[in-house]
Structure 1
């Protein structure tokens, strides 16, 4: 989905609420707000978050679903909020700054268990899952002519690893380590994909990492305007990553996903929607039910290429943390859980 259109929908929803409240109609129906922490506006989390926010929202005064209106949770106003990504979203959920958010399955697991990047930190024991969403592909994007054919070629190069608080930064470090490279061996920068793309286009950057569903808007635009190369993450180093970190899986970016880029082997993690035990069971039940209704299915199929990969049949695959009781109730009702 076009980011501008997504933002317009979110703003329009907010205006609709203001009008309804001004008319006094909202008094007849309890109103709840449900924020979804996403990622940078040039990535995949943000447009997907806009789609899901639209699907589960049903502002006070809206027409009911059976009258052609919203099929979301009655009285709910959901918004997609741009953020630094997985770690930042989990931290916001833990502090109460967000009701929910998207995260990579590896980051969720580390936060819940106090391992990995959360080693020595407080466990986020209240973290709970709503659904597994889709595979997130690790992209290593290189400037044409930079001579980068493998992550091993990044030594001495100017490389963006994404911002602190992002899952991309964590996974970039894992990839670098598998190829025998540390941040001391490169000239690291810590930029979101849109800023990294601008610098790569200007010749001020040689490569950048991005973890997200393909096609990613920032990379598509860059491939069209300046041309890029995707670097494979494959071979024995990739095999070792898969052996050491069970939440990774083999993945392939099909030819033509980005202009003039052929088929590329890489690895991926899962994108998951998480929340907190602090959020009421009834609300999470309603959100989960609204996520998987027929109206939401149409929105996801039409709204983004990765929306088609968000399927109820895979909603419980590879969850990094336990289900929220409200979500668990729904999945039991539809027979996905006993």
Structure 2
């Protein structure tokens, strides 16, 4: 017996060590870019990160806070993140080296799928003197965090309508913007978030507020022709306390992006995990803003190449792939 143990035990130990080192080697540490604390980006990034970590024990996913879409894209291009939430418009412009991303191309990003409709919401308090888009002239407007998709989207509209030089821009977002509006430090703030969202709920439940319709300004200025990834959207009256009338505005799409060099099989497995029934149910428990996720809107707003792993999944489940989304 002792002879047997002396003979066999070394081989057993070698096998155990080999398995252990293999397990360590297979463990992957990934980061996913979100946004500011309490914002829709962070909620989605955390929800997806948690679920994928549960489904794939070899994955360790960290949520990275950021200024939002544009920063996420730039950091992914630089190899600082493997995944992120971004606006479809920013991703399109970055991939094609256009507008604010003309220092590109940002060719290390690939699309996975649609997450939610990101709706432009311009908020002020009753009695501010702001009743329409034109009334923004001479006012202190919080555009969003500097360089974020929230900021860039409203700046595009303001410039398209020849209004940007007529306002006093302030770069703050989320709860901080709501607080500054309530404290009188700013006259209005812009949010590019799901509907409803916590920031506007905070403002409208604690003050008498007004959400400005901006669709006419966008249409008349040629905004949709210049930026075809935006589309008209109506926020139903009653969505927020004290806002009884429909708000006519526009939206982008929040999408999931990954690094171009991420393993095809891994991206396929993650896409399948998030977009199949159990994953969608999890995301709905995280936030009801995820209610639009699924096959019907799978690639809504996406006008840049999909990652091959994501492409394989969407083709497998019968989603039509637009030509401009093919790798």
Secondary structure of 1:49's aligned partner: helix
Q: Could you say what secondary structure the match of 1:131 adopts?
A: strand
| 8 Å contact from structure 1 (residues 73, 290) kept in 2 | no
- The equivalent residue for 2:197 is 216
Listed one character per residue, the Cα deviations across residues 130-171 of structure 1 (whole Å, up to 9, x for unaligned) are: 112221100101122111111211111111111222011111
Give the alignment partner of residue 271 of structure 1, picking from 231, 254, 264.
254
Q: TM-score, structure 1 length as denominator?
A: 0.83
Other-structure match for 2:140: 158
In structure 2, how many angstroms separate the alpha carbons of the residues matched to 1:143 and 1:42? Answer: 22
Partner of 2:91 in structure 1? 108
Question: Which residue number in structure 1 is paired with residue 119 of structure 2?
Answer: 137
CA distance in 2, matches of 1:185, 1:317: 34
Query: What is the correspondence of 1:1-338 to structure 2 with a 5 Å cutoff?
Result: 28=23, 30-58=26-54, 72-119=55-102, 121-182=103-164, 184-235=165-216, 237-239=218-220, 240-262=222-244, 263-337=246-320
Farther off after superposition, 259-268 or 170-179: 170-179
Matching residue of 1:19: none
Query: In structure 1, what is the Cα distance between the partners aligned to 2:208 and 2:27?
Result: 47
The runs of at least 4 aligned residues of structure 1 exceeding 3 Å deviation read 24-29
CA contact (8 A) 2:36 2:42 kept: yes
Cα distance per residue 1:35-58 (max 9 Å; x no partner): 221111132111122221122223
Q: Is the 8 A contact 2:275 2:293 kept in 1?
A: no
Deviation at residue 74 of structure 1 after TM alignment: 4.2
Any conservation in 2 of the 1:143–1:207 contact (CA below 8 Å)? yes
State the number of aligned residues.
300
**Cα distance, 1:277–1:141 mapped onto 2, change above 3 Å:** same
CA contact (8 A) 1:152 1:179 kept: no
SS in 2 for 1:312: coil
Aligned match of 2:6: none
Provide, for residues 158-216 of structure 1, a one-character-per-residue CA deviation record: whole Å limited to 9, x for no partner. 1111122201111111221243312x322211112221111111111100111111112
Q: What SS does the aligned partner of 1:133 have? A: strand
Shift of 1:26: 9.4
Distance 1:213 1:179 in 2: 24
Residue 227 of structure 1, CA deviation:
2.9
RMSD over equivalenced CA pairs, Å: 2.0
Distance 1:118 1:273 in 2: 19
Cα deviation for residue 73 of structure 1 reads: 2.9
Q: TM-score with structure 2 length normalisation?
A: 0.86
Distance 1:100 1:212 in 2: 20
Give the unaligned 5+ runs of structure 1: 1-23, 59-71
Structure 1 residue 295: deviation in Å? 1.7
Is this contact kept in 1: 2:96–2:104, CA < 8 A?
no
Q: 2: CA distance between counterparts of 1:26 and 1:162? A: 46
Q: Provide the rounded CA distance (Å) in 2 between the counterparts of 1:222 and 1:236.
A: 24
Describe the SS at the equivalent of 1:111: helix
Q: How far off its partner does 1:330 sit?
A: 1.4
CA distance in 1, matches of 2:279, 2:311: 19
Alignment partner, residue 61 of structure 1: none
